[in-house]
Structure 1
Amino acid sequence: MKASNFLYYKNWAVIGNVSTEGKYAFKIVNSLKNSGYDVIGINPRNIAGDTHEYIKKAFSKIHVLDLCINPSKGIDIVKIANEAGVDKILVQPGAESQEILDFCNNNGIDAVCGCALAELSKRHQR
């Protein structure tokens, strides 16, 4: 699958620094919302209580996870996504690692390295 194909799915979660203006995760959340997508933004640092259960519950309602987080933390997020049944992950530049890609490949998750902002921009140019 190509990154552009993920745009056919309407329910997204973006994980990263979604609360700081100027950060890519923040921009991605707003761009998706402005393009008519249902999107939740999750900053794992801002979750009180059981982060694992909170994220797993949130992921149970999405089609695509947009990973916009340091790969050393991203692998744990990908494992939670797998538990929640997420099978499509867009891995933003800088969030990728071989460990993440191997895990996805070995667990039936369609992981694509790409940029949501670039794909949305291409779609709007058509």
Structure 2
Amino acid sequence: MDLKKAMQYNNFVVIGDTLNEEKYAYKIKHELINSGYKVYSVGKELKSLNDIDEEIDIIDLCINPPTGIKLLRESKKKCKGLIIQPGAGSDEIKKFLDENHYDYMDGCLLVGIRLYGK
């Protein structure tokens, strides 16, 4: 997965505090919406990835690692790729993603939107 490839998709999930204007999850969610992407928010709005009825293209992990791994483990949903924001990753998350054959990368989705967005 790379940012250019990620930005070619349409359905994004931002996992994090998307209700607090001070948080990066909030900023990422609104940048995606303003750029024409469809966005779901898990953490403060939806409680689980399983609450999303549509196919998920890209998950943006923008939450503390213990909560992030919990949400990923309980999910029955698949995605095409996953972006791990700075501070949201851990060895445990990467091991889980490798074992379950997820395509992922460490990166900043805000950079992806600005460089490769619609």
Scaled to the shorter chain, the TM-score interval is: 0.7 to 0.9
The 5 Å alignment of 1:3-82 reads 3-44=3-44, 51=47, 54-58=48-52, 60-81=54-75
When the two structures are superposed, what TM-score results if normalisation uses the length of structure 2?
0.88
Count of aligned positions: 117
Which residue of the partner structure matches residue 79 of structure 2?
A: 86
Q: Unpaired segments of 5 or more residues in structure 2? A: none
Bigger radius of gyration: 1
- Determine what percentage of the aligned residue pairs are the same residue: 34
Q: What's the Cα RMSD here?
A: 1.8
Aligned to 1:114, which of 100, 107, 113?
107
Letter in 1 for 2:21: E
In structure 1, runs of 5+ residues without a counterpart are none
Q: Establish whether residue 96 from structure 1 lines up as the match of residue 89 from structure 2.
A: yes
Structure having the larger proportion of residues in helix: 1
Runs of 4+ in 1 over 3 A off after TM superposition: none
Instruction: Give the Cα–Cα distance (whole angstroms) in 2 for the partners of residues 25 and 34 of structure 1.
Output: 14
Report if the CA contact (8 A) 1:60-1:85 is conserved: no
| CA deviation profile, 1:46-69 (whole Å, cap 9, x unmatched) | 55xxx4xx4313175311111100
The structure showing larger relative contact order (alpha-carbon pairs under 8 Å, at least 6 residues apart) is 2
TM-score with structure 1 setting the length: 0.83
